[in-house]
Amino acid sequence: MAELKPIYNSEITCPVCEKIIRISKVRSKFIKLIKQDDDYCPHYETINPIYYEAWVCNHCGYAAHNTVFDQITRYERQAVHEKISKRWTSRSFSGERNWEQALEAFKLVLYNLQVREAQYSQLAKICLRIAWLYRYEGIIEEDINYSKFAFDFYKKAYTNEDLRDNLLDEYTLMYIVGVLANRIGLKDEAMRWFSRLISISSNPKERDKIPAGLLDNTRDQIYTIRTEMKEEGNKE
């Protein structure tokens, strides 16, 4: 019997150029989560499925996150065609990916989103993943840089976007904004987001809608930041 490989390919149609493309996925039995950071960055034992979340069409340069690959409007398709496809040199992103290829694929997704003038929440999600990729390699400066972009975009998403159709609920979004604020050194700002979330939860109607575990995590964050602030205050 042939040995089962962790990566397998499947074929889909590109929603921009309508050609058949080959995308690669990780078999779930090879995915072993070790831990997760406070901003939900997952760490895996060997194969990292995050590397494969950015799908790229080798024919036209269209790239998007695997969860929303088909979701593109006619206007956006036109924009990708005009600004990306015309200058695209064909290269393949299928098969096993190393870190550099994963990063390149995600940067292409980000570029596509900018060209499409996509929603802030989409931009935020991709910037956060790029931050994670840098974190995996210990490149802290770029991790912080992209965490800052994600923080700004998530904040804009919170004020400007209708989150009802979004996979991310507004409470988790508030929590992530708080966590990112803390990661980029804005402790007061982080505290404001966490406190807002706790005060919302005092309303029983809202409380029921808050995902399980989120309030405990929020309280942990508040406790940690308060302790750090106290220690910093004592040093002065």
Q: How far is the CB of 129 from Zn ion (least distance, A)?
A: 21
**DSSP letter, residue 65:** E
Q: How far is the CB of 235 from Zn ion (least distance, A)?
A: 56
How far is the first Cα of the chain from the last one, in angstroms, to the nearest whole number?
Answer: 67
Nearer to Zn ion, 57 or 210 (CB): 57
CA–CA dist 53, 64 (Å, integer): 8
Conformation bin of residue 138: beta by default, left when phi > 0, alpha when psi is -120 to 50: left
Nearer to Zn ion, 84 or 176 (CB): 84
Q: How far is the CB of 52 from Zn ion (least distance, A)?
A: 18
Alpha-carbon Rg for the chain in angstroms: 20
Contacts (Cβ under 8 Å, ≥6 apart) of 42: 33, 35, 36, 50, 132
Q: Which amino acid is at 65?
A: H
Site for Zn ion in 25-64 (CB under 5 A): 57, 59-60, 62
Inter-residue contact 210 to 201 (CB < 8 Å): yes
Q: How far is the CB of 116 from Zn ion (least distance, A)?
A: 14
Single out the segment in contact with Zn ion by CB under 5 A; choices: 8-16, 25-33, 41-49, 199-207: 8-16
- Strand extents, DSSP E, 31-156: 33-36, 42-44, 54-56, 63-65
Nearer to Zn ion, 81 or 192 (CB): 81
Single out the segment in contact with Zn ion by CB under 5 A; choices: 14-22, 33-41, 44-52, 144-152: 14-22
How many of the chain's residues bind Zn ion (CB under 5 A)?
7
Nearer to Zn ion, 59 or 187 (CB): 59
Phi and psi of 124, rounded to 5°?
Answer: -60, -45
Q: How far is the CB of 184 from Zn ion (least distance, A)?
A: 35
Single out the segment in contact with Zn ion by CB under 5 A; choices: 6-14, 71-79, 96-104, 108-116: 6-14
Q: Does 113 bind Zn ion (CB under 5 A)?
A: no
Nearer to Zn ion, 59 or 196 (CB): 59
Nearer to Zn ion, 108 or 225 (CB): 108
Nearer to Zn ion, 62 or 154 (CB): 62
Inter-residue contact 178 to 190 (CB < 8 Å): yes
Find, among 189, 187, 200, 192, the residue nearest to 226 by Cα: 187
Of the candidates 14, 80, 103, 133, which one interacts with Zn ion according to CB under 5 A? 14
CA–CA dist 46, 130 (Å, integer): 19
Site residues, Zn ion (CB under 5 A)? 14, 16-17, 57, 59-60, 62
